[in-house]
Structure 1
Amino acid sequence: MQKLAKILVIVPAYNEQDNLPDLVYKLRQVEPKLDILVINDRSQDQTAQICKELNVNTIHLPCNLGIGGAVQTGYKYAHLHGYDYAVQVDGDGQHDPTYISNILQPLFNNQADLVIGSRYINKEGFQSTAMRRMGIKYFSLLINLLIHQKVTDPTSGFRACNAKVIELFSRFYPADYPEPESIVFIKRNGYRISEIPVIMQERLGGVSSIKSFRTLYYMIKVSIAILIDKMRRHTEVNQ
Structure 2
Amino acid sequence: MRLLVAIPALNEAAAISGALAALAQVQSLDDVVVIDDGSRDATAQIARDAGAHVVSHAINLGVGAAMGTAFKYAARNGYDAVVQFDGDGQHRPEHIAELVAAAAHSDIVIGSRFAEGGTFKSSAARRGVQRFIARVASLYARTRLTDATSGFRLAGPRAVAVFAEHYPVEWLGDTVESIVLATRQGLTVREIPVEMNERAGGAPSQSVLRATLYTGRILLILGLATIRSVPPQIRELRLRDRKAAA
TM-score (norm 1): 0.88
CA contact (8 A) 2:29 2:52 kept: no
Q: Which has the higher helix share?
A: 2
- Name 2:148's counterpart in structure 1: 154
CA contact (8 A) 1:144 1:151 kept: yes
- Name 2:243's counterpart in structure 1: none
AA of the residue aligned to 1:49: Q
1:88 aligns with 2:96: no
1:219 aligns with 2:215: yes
TM-align CA RMSD: 2.1
- Name 1:75's counterpart in structure 2: 71
TM-score (norm 2): 0.86
- Name 1:236's counterpart in structure 2: 231
Q: Distance in 2 between matches of 1:145 and 1:98?
A: 30
CA contact (8 A) 1:15 1:206 kept: no
Q: Which of 109, 126, 149 in structure 2 is aligned with 1:115? A: 109
SS at match of 1:59: strand
Stretches of structure 2 that go unaligned for 5 or more consecutive residues are: 235-246
Which string of whole-angstrom CA distances, capped at 9 and with x for unpartnered residues, describes residues 203-222 of structure 1?
Answer: 113776x8656443322122
Which string of whole-angstrom CA distances, capped at 9 and with x for unpartnered residues, describes residues 54-89 of structure 1?
Answer: 232111111111010011110110011110111000
Give the number of equivalent residue pairs: 231
CA contact (8 A) 1:18 1:205 kept: no
For residues 150 and 45 of structure 1, do their structure 2 counterparts lie closer, same or farther at Cα, with a shift above 3 Å needed?
same
Offset of residue 98 of structure 1: 0.4
For residues 130 and 211 of structure 1, do their structure 2 counterparts lie closer, same or farther at Cα, with a shift above 3 Å needed?
closer
Which string of whole-angstrom CA distances, capped at 9 and with x for unpartnered residues, describes residues 83-127 of structure 1?
Answer: 0111000112111010000011122x2x10000001111333533
For residues 207 and 219 of structure 1, do their structure 2 counterparts lie closer, same or farther at Cα, with a shift above 3 Å needed?
same
AA of the residue aligned to 2:175: E
- Name 2:125's counterpart in structure 1: 131
- Name 2:241's counterpart in structure 1: none
For residues 11 and 206 of structure 1, do their structure 2 counterparts lie closer, same or farther at Cα, with a shift above 3 Å needed?
farther
Q: Distance in 1 between matches of 2:4 and 2:184?
A: 25
Q: Distance in 1 between matches of 2:156 and 2:117?
A: 27
1:48 aligns with 2:44: yes
Q: Distance in 2 between matches of 1:87 and 1:190?
A: 20
SS at match of 1:122: helix
AA of the residue aligned to 1:50: I
Stretches of structure 1 that go unaligned for 5 or more consecutive residues are: none
AA of the residue aligned to 2:97: S
Q: Which of 164, 169, 172 in structure 2 is aligned with 1:170? A: 164
- Name 2:57's counterpart in structure 1: 61
AA of the residue aligned to 1:113: D
Which string of whole-angstrom CA distances, capped at 9 and with x for unpartnered residues, describes residues 20-58 of structure 1?
Answer: 111101111013376100001111222123223323211
For residues 100 and 150 of structure 1, do their structure 2 counterparts lie closer, same or farther at Cα, with a shift above 3 Å needed?
same
Moved more, 33-42 or 191-200: 33-42
